[in-house]
Structure 1
Amino acid sequence: MRALRIVVTGLVQGVGFRPFIDRLVRQIGLNGFVRNVGGSEVEIWVEGDEEGLYEFLAALFNEKPPPALIDEVVFEEESPLGYNGFTILKSGESRILRSNIPPDFAVCKHCLEEVLDPSNRRYMYPFNSCAWCGPRFSMMYRSPYDRENTSMAKYVLCEDCMREYRDPSNVRRHHAQGISCPRDGPRLTLYDRGFTRIDVGDPLVEAARLIDEGYIVAVKGLGGYHIASLATDDDVVQRLRERKRRPRKPFAVMGLDTSILELLVYMDEADREVLESPQAPILLLPKREDSPVSRLVSPGLSHEGVFIAYTPLHFILLMHTRDKFLVMTSGNVSGEPMCRDDECARSKLSQIVDFFLVHDRDIVNRVDDSVLRKTGGEYVLLRRSRGFAPAWIKIPVRLEREVVAFGGDLNNTGGVGFEDKVVLTQYIGDLESYNAQVELLNAIEYMVRNYGVSLRDSVIVVDKHPLYHSRRLGVEYAERHGIPVVEVQHHYAHVLGAAIDRGLSGRVAGLAVDGVGWGDDSTVWGGEILVFDAGKPGAYRRVASIDHIPLTSDKDTLKPARLVYGYLARKGWNLDEVVKVVGVRDPRVLSEARVVFRMVDLGRYTLASSTGRLIDMVAALLNPSIERSFEGEPAIWLESLAHSGTPRLLEGVRFFIDDGVMRLDYYGLVTNIIEMRGAVEPGVLAASFLYSLGYYYGELIAGTVKGEGVSSVVVSGGAAVNEYLYKGLKERLTLEGLEPLLPRNIPPGDGGLSFGQVVAGGLIRLT
C-alpha cells in the first residue's frame, strides 16, 4: 500500500473536479479524500496499490471534466493512514497553493436540453446549471468555491436536488454548488417603470411579449443588467438611443443560437466555435447585405457585434420573441458601470426602460460581456471579461515580487501578479465616472484577497500620465498600505505585455499604436517603436516614431476637423486654404477654425505623435462633419469605409532624424488624400491610407532595428487591431523575414495595459 497527497492547481474549482475525482477513485478502488482549499486549489489524498495510483494519475489528466484546466500537480508520497472508502470533505479555508478563481461559463448543451424537454423537471427553468456551466465568479463572495461562499447560499436544496447533489454517479450534479430547480432556486419578477410588481403567470414570457410590442425591457442576467429591445424596428432602436443618450455607438445583438445569427452576419466554422464556446463572447462579424437588423443598431459600420443566448434565461426570452434575436446592450447610463443590483436599476434605468425583468439572486461581481474581433485572420480580444476573468494567465518568466497594477483610464482593467501568473480584473470601463473608480478598487481588493497577494511584499504599478485617475488611485492605495509605487510608461507596458503574452524572450521590437500615452519627454506619444529585452524589463529604447500633430484642446478628440486645422496650420497653410479643403460653411465652424489657427500661431498646443489622432484627422478629411460620440468612433468609421475599397500603397512620405529618433513624415500621405478626394472612391482612399500607414510603420521598423539583435516584432495599442494597418505592416515586415505579432490572451488596447504593468513591476530592478 502506498499513499499520495496531491495538490492540483488551475481551473479546478467550480468545474465538477471533486466529483470527478470521487468517481475516478471509486472506479479504481482507492481510498482517501478530496476537498477544495482556500486558494482555489484542490487537495487529494489517495492510498492503495501502486498500479491503482499510476492509473489514477494518468486518468487525472486524460478524463477530467470538460471545463477543467490543470496547470500544476504537486504530489508527495506519504505513509498510508488506512482510509476506508473515499470522501468529499468540507472545504478548507487555508491556502496550500494558489489556483484559479473560476470564471462564468455559458450554459452547456446538456442543461439546455433539459430546459427544452417537457418531461424534465427543469423544463423552461431559466436558472438551470450544472458542474460544467453557469455562474461562478459573478456569484462568488470568496474562495473556496462552495455554495455557502456564493449568492446561492440562501436557496435551500429540495429533496430532488439534494439527491442529485449526493449521488456520485450523477456526473453533472454531484457536488455541483450552483444547482437548483423551479422548487428551490431563484425567482423571476416583472416590474413596471416605477418598479411596481406586475402579477403575471410567467414573467419571462410576458417580458418577451412586451418586447415584441416595442417596449424596452431591462433584464437582470448573469453578471449585470442588459437592456433588451427589438433589433428590427427603427423607431424602437431610435427611442433606445435617445433614452440612453447614445447617438451612434453600436449595440450588440443577441441571437437564440448561431443558426439565427448567420441570418445577420457572415460566419465560418471557426467563428461558430468561438460563439458557442463556454466564454460565448460578443464577436464582430461582417454584416449580411440582406440582414433584417435595423441600420440604426450599428449605423455606418460594416460589422455587427453578435453573441448567442448564453444563459437559459436569455434563451427562453429569445425563443418567445418573434425575431429570435434582440438588441442586448449593457444596462447602464452613459459613462457609468453596468447596473448589477436592483437599486441601481431602479434609480438609473427607469428613464431608459419601460419594464424590468428581475431575479432575486445577488450578483456579487459585475461582469460585462467579453468582445472579440478578427485581425489578420486571428481572433483578438477587445474586452476581456465574462468567461475569461478572473482566470490567470501564465507567463514564461517568474516575477521577483508580487504586484498590483491599476491600468489606464480608458477601458480599464486592474491586475495582480505573483509567481509566473498574471490575473486581470474583469472589464471596469472608463474611469471618468466615480462609480467606475470604486469598481476598480473593489475588483482589485477582491483579487488581492482571494488570490492571497501579500501587500507588504508587493509594489503598486501606475501609468506615468500625471492626470490619470488610475494613477491617483494607485498612489493613494500605495500610501494607504505603505508600499512602493513604480511608474511604467504607457507604450512600454503595451509592447512588453504583448511580448510576454506571446512567450517571447530576448531582444524584441514593439510597435505601439494608439491615441494618447504620456511620453518620457512630456509629450503625447501614440505611434512608437521601442526596442527592449523581453526577459529583463526596465530598459527600453525609443528608436522611431511619427511626426507630430498639435493638440490645441480636449475638443480636438471630439471634433477631428480641428486636427486638420491645427496640422495644416503648423505646416504653413493659411486659414483660407484650410477652410476650402475642409469645406467649412457654418460660421460657427469657421470661428472654431480661427481659434485653432490662433492657438497654433501662439504655440499654445501639445505635440502628439499619435496614431489615433492621425487616423481621426484623415477621417475628418473624408468626412469633415464627423464627431466622436464614443471612444474610437472616427477610426472605426474609417476602417468600415475601407471595407468598400481595395488598398494601394500611397507615395509621398519621407523619413528624418529628430533628436536621435527616426520619424515618419506623413505630410505627403495627407496631401495625396486631399488631392485625390472627388477623383477616387472614399473607400479606396480610406483603405489605401490605413494600409500605407501600416506599410511605412514597417519601413520604420526595418530601418531602425538592424543591428539591434531583434528577432521578433510585436504590435499593440488600440489601433493595432485595424485590419488594413495590420495588413500593410505585415506585408512590409515579411520582406525582412519578420512577422508582427498581436497579443492573444489580452486586449491590445488599454484593457490589456495592466498586464504589461504587472510584468514590468514584477521584474524591473527597484532603486
Structure 2
Amino acid sequence: MSIKALRIRVTGIVQGVGFRPFVYRLATRLGLKGYVVNLGGSEVEIFVEGDENSLKFFVERISVEKPPNARIDKVFVEWIEPIGFKEFLIRESGSQQILRSVIPPDIGICSDCVREILDSGSRFYRYYWNSCVNCGPRFSMMFRTPYDRENTSMAVFRLCEKCEAEYRDPSNVRRFHAQGISCPVCGPKTFVFDSSGRRIDVDDIVSFVAKKILEGHIIAIKGVGGYHIACLASRDDVVLELRKRKRRPTQPFAVMARDYKVVEDIAVPFPEARELLESPQRPIVILPKKRDSKLSEYVSPGLSTVGVMLPYTGFQVLLLREIPDGFLIMTSGNVHGEPMCTNITCVFEKLRDVVDYVVEHEREIVHRVDDSVIRFSDGEPVFLRRARGYAPEWIELPFNVAESIAVGAELQTAGAVAFENKVVLTQYIGDVDEPAQLDDLRKELLWFAKIYGLKPSVVAADMHPNYHNKRIAVEFSKEFGAEYIEIQHHHAHIASAMAEHGVGEDENVVGIAIDGTGYGVDGGIWGGEVMIASYTNFKRTGSLQPFTLPGGDSAALYPVKPLISLFVLAGYSEEEVIKYLEKEGLIKSLPYGAKEAAITYRLAKSGRGAVVTSMGRTLDAFSALLNVCTLRTYEGEPPIKLEALADSGNYLDYYPKIKHFNGRLVVDVVDMLNWVLSNMDKRKSDLAATVLRSLGIGLGLIALESVKGLRNTKNFVVCSGGSAVNTHIIRGIKHALKSGEIGVKLPRKTPPGDGGIALGQIVIVSSKVSKHG
C-alpha cells in the first residue's frame, strides 16, 4: 500500500471546542498516523499520513462530523512527503502563528454537564463550575493563545488524579484534552461573604443563597465574565430596594428563568426565541411581557417587554431550582455608569452598599464580558449588545482590509481590529466617557492586536470633537506609527451594515442612519439621515426636518426641551407654548419650570443652539408631547417608552409630508406635530404608533427617491443606528420602499447601534487608505 501524507490547516472556531480530540478520534478510527496541534493564531494544524482514499475521506469528514460548537471557516490542504509516524498524537501546542483563527467565545453549560451536577451518583454532583469540551468559559479566562489550560486562569488549578485520567482517555468524548475541566477536588472553590467582607462558613452555598434571596436579600454572584446582582423579581419591595441601592430608578433589569417553561410563565416568546434562549450562547432576549404573571411591574417599568435569559453556569442552574417562582433578577454587578465588577476588591469597594452577600469563586476573570442582549425588530433578531457567547467571533468581509484599529463611538460601544478580510469586534465595552470603560477599551484592543500579531497602518475614530476615545486612537496612532483618520458617525453606521450584507468595494448603497446623536460635517447634531454611500464617500440626500435645540446635555435629559424647540419651529408663540406646557403638566418636568421653558424658547427662537436632525431628540419631543416620558434616566428611555406605548396601538390615517430644504429632502416634522395636537382626543397608543411609523415612512420615501437613477447599487436599503431596532419605524421604512420593490436590511451580526460602529469605521478607513495610500 502506497503511503501518502497531508498537511491540513483549519481556521474558524477550532480551539476550545473539542476539535483536536475529535480529529484524534477520526484519524485513529481510519487508521491514520500523524498529529494535531493548536497554533498561536487560534488555528489548528493537522499532519496525517496513510492510504490515499482514507486521507481523502478524512478531509471530507472533518467538516461533516465536527464538534457541535466548532465552526470551520477554511481548510487548507497540501500533499507532502510522509514522515513515517507510528501513531496519531495530540501534540503540545505551539506559539507559532501561521494562520489567524477565531478566539473561542464563552459557551453556556451543556445538558450533559447539567445532568452530572444533578446526579447524586456523579462525582460532579452539585459542582458549580462543571464543564467539558462542549461548554464553559473560554475567552473570559484567556491570557493568551493558543487555547490551552496553561494560557488561561485555570492554570493554577492542577488536575486531580481522576480528572487527569479522563483528560488522557481518548474514549472519554467530553473530557479528553478538554482544557477547562475540573471537579470539586481540583477546581475553583466557592465562598460566601457578607457585604462587610466577613467570610461565612456554610454547608451548602446554593441553599444558603436561595434562602437569603427568598428572605428578600440582594446577592452579588461571581460568574463567567463578571458579577451578577441577584434578587427576587416577583416582590415589588425587593425590586424597588434594588433600584434605590443601584441608583437605577427605571432602567429595566434582566431576569434569569429556570427553563423555557418558566419563560412562558412571564413572557410571550416569539417563535424564534426558544432557539436563541436555549442556544450555547444563552443571550438575554427581549420579549413581550405576559399579562398577570408573577413578575413585578418594577422589573421593567413603563415597558411592554422584559429581558429574559436561561442559566449558563452550574451555579445558576442549581440556584434557580431552589426558587419556587423559577425566576430571579440577574443584573450586572455594577454601580450606575461604571463597568461590571470582575474581582472581589471591586465588589467590596463599589457594591458594599448595594448587596447584602457576595458569592465568590477562585477563577480569575481575565476579560470582562457582559451578557449579550438580543431583541426582535419587526420579527428579526438584532443585537442590542454583543458580548458573552458571541464575542470575539470575527466578521468576514467580501474584500480585504488594511491592518487597522477602530475605537468605535462614545456610548454603548465596542472597538475593533482588522486584518485580511476579517474584523474582530471587542466584546461590549460600554460608555467610554467613564475612565474605567476607556481603560477597558484600550486594554482589549491592545490584547487583540498582540494576539493577532498586528502592525496597524491606520487607526479610526469618530469625528465628534469631544469623544473621549479619540485620545486612545491618537495614542495608538503614535505607538504603531499608523495614520489617524476620523470618520463621520452615520457614514460608519451605514458602512457597517453595507459590509455585513456583502456590498462590494466599488458599489453604492442607499442607507438610513437613525439614532440619538452623531456629529455632522456641518457641525450639527445628525441622527435621522438618508445617504447615498460607498465605503469611501457619502452624499446626504435627506433627513428629518432640522430644528434648533439649546441646552447642551440637559436637552437630552429633559424631553420637554426638544418639544419646545419643535413648537418654536412650528411658529407657536412663547405664551402659547408656556400655556400648553402648564395645561398638560409638562412644565413641572423642567427643574426651573416656566422660567427654564421661557429661556429654552427664546434661545431656540434666536437660533442659539445645535441644529438637530436627530431621530432620538425628535422621538424625545413626541414622548414628552404624549406625556410618556419627561425625564431620561437611562440611554434612549423616552423613545423606548414611546415604542412600548405604540406596541398596544393601531396606525391612524396619517401620511407624512416630504419637502425640500437646503438641497435635500426632509420629513416635515412640524406637520406631524400639528397633526398630533389636533388629534389629542385619540388614544395615545394609536398616536404613538402612527408617529413612529410615519417617521419611518418619511425616511423610506426619501430613500426611495434617492435610489432613482443610481447605477451599480444594491436593490436594498440598509438601515442602522440605535433607533433602527424600533419595530414601528422599520415597518414604516419597509412600507415606503415596498412600492419600489426594494428591501430593507438591518445588521444581524453586529448591533445596529454604536456597538457595531467600529466595523463601519474599519471598512471606511481601509477604503480611504487603498484609494489614496
Q: TM-score, normalised by structure 1?
A: 0.97
Correspondence list, 1:179-258, <5 A: 179-258=181-260
Deviation at 1:270, TM superposition (A): 1.9
Deviation at 1:576, TM superposition (A): 1.7
Partner of 1:538: 536
Structure 1 unmatched ranges of 5 or more: none
* Distance in structure 2 (CA, Å) of the matches to 1:601 and 1:65: 65
Partner of 1:171: 173
Partner of 1:490: 489
Partner of 1:763: 767
Partner of 2:560: 561
Deviation at 1:580, TM superposition (A): 2.8
Partner of 1:648: 652
Correspondence list, 1:618-697, <5 A: 618-623=622-627, 626-651=630-655, 653-658=657-662, 660-677=663-680, 679-697=681-699
* Distance in structure 1 (CA, Å) of the matches to 2:628 and 2:162: 66
* Distance in structure 2 (CA, Å) of the matches to 1:373 and 1:597: 37
* Distance in structure 1 (CA, Å) of the matches to 2:64 and 2:228: 39
Give the match's secondary structure for 1:356. Answer: strand
* Distance in structure 2 (CA, Å) of the matches to 1:167 and 1:379: 41
Correspondence list, 1:92-107, <5 A: 92-107=94-109
Deviation at 1:585, TM superposition (A): 5.3
Give the match's secondary structure for 1:550. Answer: strand
Q: Residue 188 of structure 1 contacts residue 204 of structure 1 at CA under 8 Å; is this kept in 2?
A: no
* Distance in structure 1 (CA, Å) of the matches to 2:647 and 2:732: 15
* Distance in structure 2 (CA, Å) of the matches to 1:423 and 1:618: 38
Counterpart AA for 2:573: N
* Distance in structure 2 (CA, Å) of the matches to 1:88 and 1:589: 73
Of the candidates 121, 126, 129, which is equivalent to residue 128 of structure 2? 126
Partner of 1:112: 114
Q: Residue 301 of structure 1 contacts residue 640 of structure 1 at CA under 8 Å; is this kept in 2?
A: yes
* Distance in structure 2 (CA, Å) of the matches to 1:177 and 1:122: 17
Partner of 2:547: 549
Correspondence list, 1:496-515, <5 A: 496-505=495-504, 506-515=507-516
Q: 1:570-595 CA distances to partner (integer Å, 9 max, x unpaired)? A: 43211221123333554931111011
Cα separation, partners in 2 of 1:532 and 1:190, compared to 1, 3 Å: same
Partner of 2:344: 342
Q: Residue 432 of structure 1 contacts residue 469 of structure 1 at CA under 8 Å; is this kept in 2?
A: yes
* Distance in structure 2 (CA, Å) of the matches to 1:383 and 1:547: 30
Partner of 1:424: 425
Deviation at 1:127, TM superposition (A): 0.5
* Distance in structure 1 (CA, Å) of the matches to 2:502 and 2:651: 32
Q: Residue 561 of structure 1 contacts residue 621 of structure 1 at CA under 8 Å; is this kept in 2?
A: yes
Counterpart AA for 1:91: S
* Distance in structure 1 (CA, Å) of the matches to 2:766 and 2:168: 44
Q: Does 1:445 align with 2:446?
A: yes
* Distance in structure 2 (CA, Å) of the matches to 1:671 and 1:418: 51
Cα separation, partners in 2 of 1:367 and 1:753, compared to 1, 3 Å: same
Q: Residue 653 of structure 1 contacts residue 667 of structure 1 at CA under 8 Å; is this kept in 2?
A: no
Q: Does 1:606 align with 2:607?
A: no
Question: Which stretch of structure 1 is more off in the superposition, 461-470 or 479-488?
Answer: 479-488
Number of corresponding residues? 759
Give the match's secondary structure for 2:620. Answer: helix
Deviation at 1:523, TM superposition (A): 1.1
Q: Residue 34 of structure 2 contacts residue 87 of structure 2 at CA under 8 Å; is this kept in 1?
A: yes
Give the match's secondary structure for 2:532. Answer: strand
Deviation at 1:255, TM superposition (A): 0.7
* Distance in structure 1 (CA, Å) of the matches to 2:89 and 2:658: 73
Q: Residue 566 of structure 2 contacts residue 670 of structure 2 at CA under 8 Å; is this kept in 1?
A: no
Structure 2 unmatched ranges of 5 or more: none
Q: Residue 417 of structure 1 contacts residue 759 of structure 1 at CA under 8 Å; is this kept in 2?
A: no
* Distance in structure 1 (CA, Å) of the matches to 2:463 and 2:62: 46
Give the match's secondary structure for 1:513. Answer: strand
* Distance in structure 1 (CA, Å) of the matches to 2:76 and 2:723: 42
Give the match's secondary structure for 2:76. Answer: strand
Correspondence list, 1:269-418, <5 A: 269-399=271-401, 401-418=402-419
Of the candidates 721, 724, 732, which is equivalent to residue 720 of structure 1? 724
Runs of 4+ off more than 6 Å: none
Give the match's secondary structure for 1:423. Answer: strand
Q: 1:189-210 CA distances to partner (integer Å, 9 max, x unpaired)? A: 0000101100111122211110
* Distance in structure 2 (CA, Å) of the matches to 1:353 and 1:717: 35
* Distance in structure 2 (CA, Å) of the matches to 1:370 and 1:701: 32
Q: Residue 461 of structure 1 contacts residue 474 of structure 1 at CA under 8 Å; is this kept in 2?
A: yes
Counterpart AA for 1:663: V
Q: 1:156-189 CA distances to partner (integer Å, 9 max, x unpaired)? A: 1111101110011111110000000111101110
* Distance in structure 2 (CA, Å) of the matches to 1:288 and 1:252: 15
Counterpart AA for 1:244: K
Partner of 1:740: 744
Q: Does 1:523 align with 2:524?
A: yes
Q: Residue 493 of structure 1 contacts residue 757 of structure 1 at CA under 8 Å; is this kept in 2?
A: yes
Deviation at 1:652, TM superposition (A): 5.7
* Distance in structure 1 (CA, Å) of the matches to 2:656 and 2:171: 72
Cα separation, partners in 2 of 1:685 and 1:19, compared to 1, 3 Å: same
Cα separation, partners in 2 of 1:578 and 1:75, compared to 1, 3 Å: same
Q: 1:620-644 CA distances to partner (integer Å, 9 max, x unpaired)? A: 0001761100000000000000011
Partner of 2:92: 90
Q: Residue 656 of structure 2 contacts residue 667 of structure 2 at CA under 8 Å; is this kept in 1?
A: no
Q: Residue 417 of structure 2 contacts residue 449 of structure 2 at CA under 8 Å; is this kept in 1?
A: yes
* Distance in structure 2 (CA, Å) of the matches to 1:405 and 1:439: 14
Q: Does 1:730 align with 2:734?
A: yes
Deviation at 1:322, TM superposition (A): 2.5
Q: Does 1:617 align with 2:621?
A: yes
Instruction: State the identity %.
Output: 46
Q: Does 1:706 align with 2:705?
A: no
Q: Residue 433 of structure 2 contacts residue 467 of structure 2 at CA under 8 Å; is this kept in 1?
A: no
Q: Does 1:24 align with 2:26?
A: yes
Q: Residue 524 of structure 1 contacts residue 608 of structure 1 at CA under 8 Å; is this kept in 2?
A: yes
Give the match's secondary structure for 1:469. Answer: coil
Q: Residue 656 of structure 1 contacts residue 665 of structure 1 at CA under 8 Å; is this kept in 2?
A: no
* Distance in structure 1 (CA, Å) of the matches to 2:419 and 2:653: 46
Q: Residue 11 of structure 2 contacts residue 74 of structure 2 at CA under 8 Å; is this kept in 1?
A: yes
Q: Does 1:36 align with 2:38?
A: yes
Q: Residue 31 of structure 1 contacts residue 83 of structure 1 at CA under 8 Å; is this kept in 2?
A: yes
Counterpart AA for 1:580: K
Deviation at 1:391, TM superposition (A): 1.1
Root-mean-square deviation over aligned CA pairs: 1.2
* Distance in structure 2 (CA, Å) of the matches to 1:714 and 1:471: 27
Q: Residue 502 of structure 1 contacts residue 744 of structure 1 at CA under 8 Å; is this kept in 2?
A: no
Q: Residue 105 of structure 2 contacts residue 390 of structure 2 at CA under 8 Å; is this kept in 1?
A: yes
Question: Which stretch of structure 1 is more off in the superposition, 473-482 or 152-161?
Answer: 473-482
Q: Residue 475 of structure 1 contacts residue 485 of structure 1 at CA under 8 Å; is this kept in 2?
A: yes
Counterpart AA for 1:467: N
Counterpart AA for 1:750: D
* Distance in structure 1 (CA, Å) of the matches to 2:516 and 2:346: 32
Give the match's secondary structure for 1:516. Answer: strand
* Distance in structure 1 (CA, Å) of the matches to 2:656 and 2:206: 61
Q: Residue 667 of structure 2 contacts residue 695 of structure 2 at CA under 8 Å; is this kept in 1?
A: no
Give the match's secondary structure for 1:545. Answer: strand
Q: Residue 565 of structure 1 contacts residue 593 of structure 1 at CA under 8 Å; is this kept in 2?
A: yes
